[in-house]
Amino acid sequence: MFNLITNIFTAVFSIGFLISMSKDLLAIVILIELILIFIQNIMRKHISHETNNIRKAHGYLSNIVQEYVSNIKNIVVSKSKLKFFKSYIKREKNLMNNEVKLNLVIVGNMSITRILNGAITVVIYGYGGYKVINGQLSVGELIAFQQYTNMLIGPCINIIRSTNQIVQAKVSIDRVYSVIDEEIDIKVENNAFKINHDINRVELKDVCFDYNGFGKENNVLKNLNMIFKKGETTAIVGESGCGKSTIVSLLYRLWDVTDGEILIDGVDIKDINLKSLRKNIHIVNQEVFLFDDTIKNNIDFREKLSYEEVLKICNIVGLNDLLGSLENGIDTVIGEKGVKISGGQKQRIQIARAIVSSSKVVILDEATSALDNISQNKILNNINNYIKDKIVIVIAHRLSTIKDANNIYVLEKGQVVESGSDEDLSSENGLYKGLIMASN
Ligand SMILES: Nc1ncnc2c1ncn2[C@@H]1O[C@H](COP(=O)(O)OP(=O)(O)OP(=O)(O)O)[C@@H](O)[C@H]1O
Ligand SMILES: [Mg+2]
C-alpha cells in the first residue's frame, strides 16, 4: 500500500510537469495509457477468475491428501487406493492447467503493458521530433518530456502490478468471508434463559423435521411425541434410518425442528441459551472422536481429574485390561484417531467421558455397539450409579441393551408406532416383537 501511494504521488507530480511542456503530446500519451487501463480492467477480471479456480483446486487437493492420510488403514483394506490416486491426479492436472492459464494471462498482461509503453516512446520521439523541427519545442524540452513520461509510466506499471497483487489477495479474502458470512440457521440468544437447576423432564411435542426444507412429504420425523424423565432410562429403537439419531441432533440443536417444539421443563429449547443447553446434554455417539493424545487426556479434556480418579473411571468402563498391558498406562498416546486401540476400547473411552461429564441429560446412541454382550452388560451396570439421577436416553439396535429401560419408544419411518416397557411390548404382536424375532 505504501508503494502504491508513492507511485500515485510520483505519477501525479510528473503529469503536472508534462502539462506545462506540451499539452497535445501529453494528450496522445494519456490516450495510449487509457487504452492500457481499459485492457488492464479486462485482464484483471481474468486474473481474479483464474486465481479463484486455483484456490479451489488447491483446496480440493489438500482435502484428498488429508482424507487419504487420515484414513490410510481403511483405504488399504477397502482397496480404494487407486480411486484416491486417480482423483488426486485429476485434481493435480486441473491445478496445473489453471496455474498455466493464470501465468499466461499475467505474462500477456505485462507484455501488452510493455508494448503500449514502447508505443509511447515512439510517439514522443516521432511527434515530438516533428515539433522540434517546426520550432514548437526545444530539444531540451523534448528530452525533459521523455524523462518525465518515464516518471509517469514507471509508477503506472508499478500501480498495475500492485493492483494484480491486490486482486489476487482479494480472492483469498473473499473465500474467507464466504465462510464467515455463511448464514447461521440456529439463532443464538446470548441473553436467553440459562439452565441452573436439575432437569426433570424433556418433551418432544408434535415434532416434525425435514433436513432439506422440501416440505411435509419429505419429513424424516412426523408428529413425534416423546417424554424423557429424570431418573429414568428411555430407549428409542427402530430400523436403520428411521430417525433415531436425528432426534438426538434436534435435542442438541444441531438443527431446529421444522414444526412442533422440544421443551425442557416446559421451556422451548429455542428460548434457552445454546451454550447452557449443550452443556447440559452429553452425547455418546455412533462415531468415536479421539485425539492423538494420552488415554487420560482423551477422557478428561479439561485435565482437572487426578490420576486416581481417571484410573477409577477406566476401571468402571473396563479399560483396566488394556491399561495393564501398556507400559505407560493412562499416559499412553493412542495415535491419530485412536489407531493403536480397538473399536471397543475406543467406545469405552467415549463412555468414560460421559461419566466425567456433569450434563443432566445423557444420550447413548449405539454407544456399546462394538462391545460383546457380556462387556456391554458389565459396563451398563457399572455406569448406572453415575447416571441414575439423570435423564438417560439409549438408542440401540441390539435389544438386550435397552431391555431394562423404563420406557421404550418404537419408531417406524419417523413416527412412534409403539411404546411401553419391554414386558408390555414383548406381549404385543407389533414391530418390537418383530425386531426381537429378527435379532434371535
Ligand atoms: N445430515 C443429513 N442430511 C440429510 N439427510 C439426513 C442427514 N442425516 C440423516 N439423514 C437422513 O435422515 C434419515 C434418518 O437418519 P438417522 O441418522 O436419524 O437414522 P437412524 O435411525 O439413527 O439410523 P441408524 O440406526 O442407521 O443410525 C435417513 O433417511 C438419513 O438418510
Ligand atoms: Mg443413528
| Minimum CA distance residue for ligand 1 atom 4 | 211
Give residue 381 CA to ligand 1 midpoint distance, Å. 29
**CATH 1.20.1560.10-classified regions of the chain:** 2-180
For the chain, give every residue range classified as CATH 3.40.50.300: 201-439
Q: Is the pLDDT of residue 171 over 90?
A: no
Most confident of 35-44, 207-216, 356-365, 374-383: 356-365
What topology does CATH give the domain 2-180?
ABC transporter transmembrane region fold (1.20.1560)
Give the model's pLDDT for residue 348.
92
Confidence of residue 350 (pLDDT cuts 50, 70, 90): very high
pTM here is 0.75
Atom number, ligand 1, closest to the C-alpha of residue 238: 21
> Is the CB of residue 186 less than 8 Å from the CB of residue 253?
yes
Ranked by mean pLDDT, the top range of 7-16, 187-196, 216-225, 253-262 is 253-262
Could you tell me the distance, in angstroms and rounded to a whole number, from the CA of residue 319 to the centre of ligand 1? 31
Nearest CA to ligand 1 atom 26: 240
Residue 85 pLDDT > 70: yes
Confidence of residue 343 (pLDDT cuts 50, 70, 90): confident
pLDDT of residue 231: 92
Residues 154, 3: contact at Cβ < 8 Å? no
In this predicted structure, what is the pLDDT of residue 76?
A: 87
% of residues, the chain, pLDDT over 90: 39
Q: Is the confidence at residue 200, as pLDDT, over 80?
A: yes
Q: Whose CA is nearest to atom 7 of ligand 1?
A: 211
Q: How close is the Cα of 241 to the center of ligand 1, in Å? A: 5
Distance CA 203, CA 365 (A): 18
User: 245 C-alpha vs ligand 2 centroid, how far in Å?
Assistant: 4
Please report which confidence band the pLDDT of residue 440 belongs to, taking 50, 70 and 90 as the band edges.
Answer: low
On whether the 201-439 domain is CATH 3.40.50.2000, my answer is: no
Measured between alpha carbons, how far is residue 107 from residues 16, 43, 161, 275 in Å? 31, 11, 11, 53
Mean pLDDT of 117-131: 90
- Phi and psi at 365, nearest 5°, equal -100, 100
What rounded mean pLDDT belongs to the chain? Answer: 88
Separation between Cα atoms, residue 239 and residue 434, nearest integer Å: 11
Average pLDDT for residues 336-345, to the nearest whole number? 83
Assign 185 a pLDDT band (cuts: 50, 70, 90): confident
Ligand 1: residues whose CB is within 6 Å? Answer: 211, 220, 240-246, 286
Q: Kindly report the protein residue whose alpha carbon is nearest to atom 14 of ligand 1.
A: 243
Q: Ligand 1 centre from 236 Cα, in Å?
A: 14
In this prediction, residue 279 carries a pLDDT of 93
